[in-house]
Amino acid sequence: MADLAALTDDVLAEILLRVTSLRDLARASASCASFHRVASSPRFLRRFRAFHPPPPLGVFCCYPDGGGGSQFHPALSLHPSAPAALALARAADFSFTFLPPPSRSWLVRDSLDGRFLLDRAALAGGSNAFTEVAVCDPLFRRYRLLPPIPDELAASVENPYVQRGGDGDLQSRSSEIFLASRGDDGVNEEDPAFTVIWMACCRGKLVAFYFKSESQQWRTLSPPEHYALSTRRVMGVRLGQRNHAHGCFYWMVALTHRWLVLDTRRMEFSIVDISLVLSGRAMMFSNQITTLESRDGRTTVVVSDVFRSDKRCVLYFYAFMYFSDRWQLLNRITLPEEWGYRFRGIIGAAEGYLFLKLDHPKENLDDQVERNVEYFWLDVKTMQLGSFCRTSSLTVNEAYLYCAFPPSLSLPCI
């Protein structure tokens, strides 16, 4: 122990970074004062989280009746994450009853790094664009209400298109609002930093703002010129499913072969032409394309070709070179034949795995008990498939892949 005590904090940190789990880190930190001093520092814990990315724990589903109908579905028993997922399901409040009442008035808008973003109409019959927004932690039942968007910024939003739900629907929303994690820039131990992005697609323009937890202020984002987003057939900007990789968010622009890209590190928008990887494939749904982070810093783009004459589903994997037209085909995989009619898209990606949504098998169509939605994982390196989790309801508004516990810079307990 005397030899270990002689090591500098930097050397100890490099050793402790190689500990394989938070539980083992807690045990190591209890062994001596030097270990505890290094392992309990916020800087080390931020590095540890980055060095050991959190595992996927389950799928969080939002059902048509709003926040009260939301449910967390933990990973199945055979998945390595099952013990932690079951513990989370027992401990966390995924009904969000700790938010200002009534809890059912809140609508889940996004989930990232264990946090959730919810909103509700500020007043009865109020705007479905400018809502009351809360960022919360369902495990420790903590939340923060965001200040409203200032009037001088809100004035630029004119007749926004409904992005979720339908006209007259209590759950309709005219804004795209989501979290951009900034945990590595945390300002204190108890409340790591975060950023919220707010966007509205209006006739002839896209309007965007962002909120940083450190400054507690909303600021304007400058989007691309409207002509770069649309075609002659599109009078307004329509965006598809949001994807994320290496600090960038990606949306398919409806009726085009273009991506709208937001780089949250520079807070800049850009337009990327992706027609080279979509040519010859029918893209009916925005969740037919997703992005996957690679450890070498590259972004892998996955395109699912489902409307084929042979009724099969084929996934194409491309290396995406940012701000260039270079696309490298890395691999293609044909999914099992019986999945051709069950495939309903890709709900997320984490640590080299894709997570696919499948409808119930045909043989269960008349069996109300066996009718369900299944989620499978696909190992991008080995192309192996496995069952991840299952839900009993076929009607799901949104499904979020839930990874990690909420960000905390406190040392875990044994």
More confident call, 69 vs 8: 8
For 5, residues 6+ apart whose C-beta sits below 8 A from its C-beta are: 32, 34
Burial of residue 125 (CB within 10 Å: 0-12, 13-18, 19+) is exposed
Q: Which two tokens stand for residue 46?
A: 């931020």
Identity (one letter) of the amino acid at 176?
E
pLDDT band for position 396 (cuts 50, 70, 90) = low
pLDDT in tens, 227-240: 566 644 444 566 77
Q: Which two tokens stand for residue 178?
A: 């989501």
pLDDT band for position 213 (cuts 50, 70, 90) = confident
| Residue 24 placed within a domain | yes
| Residue 37 placed within a domain | yes
Provide φ and ψ at 176, rounded to 5°: -105, 115
What is the reported pLDDT for 64? 61
Q: Within 10 Å of residue 148's Cβ, how many Cβ atoms? A: 14
| Residue 271 placed within a domain | no
| Residue 243 placed within a domain | no
What is the reported pLDDT for 46? 73
Whole-number Å distance between alpha carbons of 273 and 369: 45
For 101, residues 6+ apart whose C-beta sits below 8 A from its C-beta are: none
pLDDT in tens, 86-130: 988 999 999 999 999 987 888 899 988 888 999 988 765 566 788
What is the reported pLDDT for 364? 47
Please give the span between the terminal C-alpha atoms of the chain, in angstroms, as a whole number: 22
pLDDT at 333 over 80: yes
pLDDT at 302 over 50: yes
What is the reported pLDDT for 409? 44
Q: Could you tell me which of 333, 334, 274, 267 has the C-alpha nearest to residue 299?
A: 274
Identity (one letter) of the amino acid at 14?
E
* Most confident stretch, 325-334, 379-388, 389-398: 379-388
* Chain centroid offset of residue 176 CA: 13
pLDDT in tens, 27-36: 788 788 888 8
Give buried/exposed letters for 34-65 (b at 16+ CB in 10 A, else e). Answer: bbeebbebbebbbbbbeeeebbbbbbbbbbee
For the chain, what is the domain count? 1
| Residue 4 placed within a domain | yes
pLDDT in tens, 36-78: 888 878 778 777 777 777 788 999 988 665 444 678 999 998 8
Report the range of poorest mean pLDDT among 189-198, 305-314, 356-365.
356-365
More confident call, 413 vs 266: 266
Report the range of poorest mean pLDDT among 50-54, 340-344, 355-359, 386-390.
50-54
What is the reported pLDDT for 273? 83
What is the reported pLDDT for 400? 86
Q: Could you tell me which of 195, 186, 216 has the C-alpha nearest to residue 266?
A: 195
What is the reported pLDDT for 182? 59
Mean pLDDT of the chain: 79
Whole-number Å distance between alpha carbons of 77 and 86: 9
pLDDT at 6 over 60: no
| Residue 23 placed within a domain | yes
| Residue 275 placed within a domain | no
Structure-token match 């090591």, residue found:
7
| Residue 3 placed within a domain | yes
Domain ranges, residue 26:
1-52
pLDDT band for position 284 (cuts 50, 70, 90) = low
> What percentage of the chain reaches a pLDDT higher than 90?
17
Structure-token match 């894709």, residue found:
354
pLDDT in tens, 256-275: 788 889 999 889 998 888 88
pLDDT band for position 219 (cuts 50, 70, 90) = very high
Strand partners, 116: 111, 136
74: preceding bond cis by omega (within 30 degrees): no
What is the reported pLDDT for 185? 47
